Amino acid sequence: MRLRVRYAKTGKLRFVSAIDLGRVWERALRQADLPIAYSEGFSPHPRVSFPDALPLGYASTGEYAQLTFAAPIALEPGVKALNTAFPDGLEVLAAVEVAEGAPKLAKWLRASCWDVAYPAGVALAEPVLALEAASNLPVLRERKGDPVTVDLRPSIHQICCAGAALRVTLHHVEPPVRPSEVHLALRVTDPDLPEPALVTRVAQGEPAFTDGPGAAEQRPAGLVEALSGALVPPLPDCRK
Amino acid sequence: MNVTRSPVSVWPQLEPILTSVRKPARYVGGEGNIVVKDVAAADSAWLLVYPDAYEVGQPNQGVQILYEVLNERPGTAAERGYAPWPDMEAVMRERRIPFFSLENHLPMRTFDVVAFSLAAEVGYTNLLNCLDLGGVALHAADRTDDDPLVVVGGHAAFNPEPLAPFVDVVCAGDGEEFVGELDDVVRRSRRGGWERQRLLDEIVRIEGAYVPSRYSAEYLADGRLRGTFPRRDGVPYRVRKRTVSDLDAWPYPKRQIVPLTETVHERYSVEIFRGCTRGCRFCQAGMITRPVRERSRATIKQMVAEGVANTGFTEVGLLSLSSADHSDILGLCGDLADSYEGTVTSLSLPSTRVDAFNVTLADELARNGRRTGLTFAPEAGTERMRRVINKMVSEADMLRTAETAFANGWRHIKLYFMIGLPTETDADVLGIAELGLKVAGIGRQHGRRNKVTVSVGGFVPKPHTPFQWASQDAPEELARKLGLLRRRVASDHSLNLRYHDPKPGVVEGLLARGDRRVAAVVERAFALGARFEGWDELFDYGTWMRAAEEVGVDVGWFTRRERGEDEVFAWDHLDSGLEKDWLWKDWRDAIDAGTELEDCRWTPCYDCGVCPGLDLQHQTGHLPIFSAAPS
What ipTM does this complex have? 0.91
Which of the four pLDDT bands, split at 50, 70 and 90, describes residue B365?
confident
Cα distance between residue A205 and residue A52, in whole Å: 13
What are the φ and ψ backbone dihedral angles of B227, each rounded to 5 degrees? 160, 165
Amino acid at B173: G
Predicted confidence (pLDDT) at residue A239 exceeds the cutoff of 80: no
Candidates B31, B29, B87, B26; CA nearest to B53 is: B26
Predicted confidence (pLDDT) at residue A101 exceeds the cutoff of 90: no
The kind and range of the H/E element at B77 are: strand B76-82
What are the φ and ψ backbone dihedral angles of B403, each rounded to 5 degrees? -60, -50
Predicted confidence (pLDDT) at residue B340 exceeds the cutoff of 70: yes
Establish if A60 belongs to a structural domain. Answer: yes
Identify the pLDDT of residue A143: 84
Q: Which one of B18, B266, B344 has the shortest CB-CB distance to A44? A: B344
Cα distance between residue B254 and residue B307, in whole Å: 6
Q: What is the DSSP string of B552-617?
A: T--HHHHHS----TTPPPTTTTEE-S--HHHHHHHHHIIIII------TTTS-----SHHHHHT--
Cα distance between residue B456 and residue B462, in whole Å: 18
Which of the four pLDDT bands, split at 50, 70 and 90, describes residue B627?
very low
Predicted confidence (pLDDT) at residue B361 exceeds the cutoff of 90: no
Non-local CB neighbours of B446 within 8 Å, separated by 6+ positions: B406, B407
Chain centroid, CA B53 distance in Å = 15
Q: What average pLDDT score do residues A199-208 get? A: 96
Establish if A237 belongs to a structural domain. Answer: no
Cα distance between residue A183 and residue B523, in whole Å: 46
Say if residues B27 and B88 touch (Cβ distance below 8 Å).
yes
Identify the pLDDT of residue B74: 97
C-alpha triplet B404, B421, B223: angle, nearest 5°: 155
Dihedral over Cα of B201, B203, B208, B211: its sign: negative
Residue B107, beta-bridge partner list: B100
Predicted confidence (pLDDT) at residue A219 exceeds the cutoff of 90: no
Residues B408-437 have pLDDT tens digits of 889 999 999 999 999 999 999 999 999 999
* DSSP summary character for residue A192: T
Q: Name which of A7-11, B49-53, B487-491 the model is least confident about.
A: B487-491
Partners of residue A42 in chain B, C-beta under 8 Å: 370
Residues B146-162 have pLDDT tens digits of 999 999 999 999 999 99
Residues A113-163 have pLDDT tens digits of 999 999 999 999 999 999 999 999 999 888 888 999 999 999 999 999 999
CA-based radius of gyration for chain B = 24
Non-local CB neighbours of A87 within 8 Å, separated by 6+ positions: A12, A13, A24, A28, B30, B31, B32, B258, B260
Cis peptide before B230 (omega within 30 of 0): no
Interface touch B314/A28, C-beta < 8 Å: no
B29 to chain A, any CB pair closer than 8 A? The answer is yes
Which of the four pLDDT bands, split at 50, 70 and 90, describes residue B631?
very low
Predicted confidence (pLDDT) at residue B629 exceeds the cutoff of 90: no
CA distance A149 to chain B (A): 24
Q: Are A182 and A150 found together in one domain?
A: yes
Candidates A88, A105, A84, A87; CA nearest to A96 is: A105
Cα distance between residue B464 and residue B289, in whole Å: 11
CA distance B570 to chain A (A): 45
Identify the pLDDT of residue B628: 42
Q: What average pLDDT score do residues B612-631 get? A: 62
Residues B82-97 have pLDDT tens digits of 999 999 999 999 999 9
Q: How many CB atoms lie within 10 A of CB B144?
A: 9
Which of the four pLDDT bands, split at 50, 70 and 90, describes residue B599?
confident
Q: Are A92 and A122 found together in one domain?
A: no
Identify the pLDDT of residue B600: 86
Say if residues B429 and B403 touch (Cβ distance below 8 Å).
no
Burial A155-191 (b: 16+ CB within 10 A, else e): bbbbbbbeebbbbbbbebeeeebbbebbbbbbeeeee
Spell out which chain A residues touch chain B, with contact meaning CB-CB distance below 8 angstroms: 11-13, 15-17, 19-20, 23-24, 26-31, 33, 38, 42-44, 56-57, 85, 87-89, 197
Which of the four pLDDT bands, split at 50, 70 and 90, describes residue B625?
very low
Q: Are A101 and A117 found together in one domain?
A: no
Minimal Cα distance from B257: which residue of A? Answer: A87
Q: Are A100 and A148 found together in one domain?
A: no
Identify the pLDDT of residue B71: 98
Chain centroid, CA B104 distance in Å = 28
> What whole-number percentage of chain B has pLDDT above 70?
97
| Measured CA distances, B243 to A194, B176, B615 (Å) | 58, 9, 10
Name the domain count of chain A: 2
Q: Are A64 and A148 found together in one domain?
A: no
Q: Are A11 and A79 found together in one domain?
A: yes
Residues B92-122 have pLDDT tens digits of 999 999 999 999 999 999 999 999 999 999 8
Interface-testing mutation among B101, B257, B260, B265, with chain A (most A C-beta atoms within 10 A): B260
Q: What is the DSSP string of B6-37?
A: ----SHHHHGGGGGGSSSGGGGS---BT----
Establish if A41 belongs to a structural domain. Answer: yes
Q: Are A77 and A173 found together in one domain?
A: no
What are the φ and ψ backbone dihedral angles of A155, each rounded to 5 degrees? -85, -15
Q: What average pLDDT score do residues B249-266 get? A: 96
B235 to chain A, any CB pair closer than 8 A? The answer is no
Domains and CATH numbers, chain B: 11-240 (3.40.50.280), 267-364+598-631 (3.30.750.210)
Say if residues B455 and B498 touch (Cβ distance below 8 Å).
yes
Interface touch A57/B260, C-beta < 8 Å: no
Interface-testing mutation among A12, A17, A26, with chain B (most B C-beta atoms within 10 A): A12
Establish if A140 belongs to a structural domain. Answer: yes
Identify the pLDDT of residue B606: 85
* Widest pairwise Cα distance in chain B: 76
Q: Are A77 and A114 found together in one domain?
A: no
Q: Give the end of a domain, one of A107, A122, A145.
A: A107
Q: Give the end of a domain, one of A107, A140, A165.
A: A107
Identify the pLDDT of residue B556: 97
CA distance B591 to chain A (A): 47
Residue A171, beta-bridge partner list: A111
| Angle subtended by helix axes B329-340 and B297-311, to nearest 10 | 30
SS3 B360: helix
Identify the pLDDT of residue B4: 66
> What whole-number percentage of chain B has pLDDT above 90?
83
Q: Give the end of a domain, one of A85, A107, A129.
A: A107
Q: What average pLDDT score do residues B55-73 get? A: 97
Residue A122, beta-bridge partner list: none
Establish if A22 belongs to a structural domain. Answer: yes
Cα distance between residue B312 and residue B259, in whole Å: 11
Residues B237-252 have pLDDT tens digits of 999 999 999 999 999 9
Interface touch A24/B25, C-beta < 8 Å: no
Cα distance between residue A7 and residue B526, in whole Å: 46
Q: Are A134 and A170 found together in one domain?
A: yes
Non-local CB neighbours of B324 within 8 Å, separated by 6+ positions: B349, B352, B353, B355, B357, B358, B361
Residue A68: CATH number of its domain? 3.30.70.580
Q: Are A137 and A82 found together in one domain?
A: no
Interface A–B counts its CB contacts (< 8 A) at 66
Establish if A238 belongs to a structural domain. Answer: no
Predicted confidence (pLDDT) at residue A237 exceeds the cutoff of 70: no
Identify the pLDDT of residue B316: 93
Predicted confidence (pLDDT) at residue A214 exceeds the cutoff of 80: no
Q: Are A123 and A214 found together in one domain?
A: yes
Sheet with B451-458, side-by-side order of all strands: B373-379, B412-419, B451-458, B495-499
Q: Are A160 and A174 found together in one domain?
A: yes
SS3 B623: coil
Domain that holds residue A209: 109-232
Cα distance between residue B616 and residue B243, in whole Å: 9
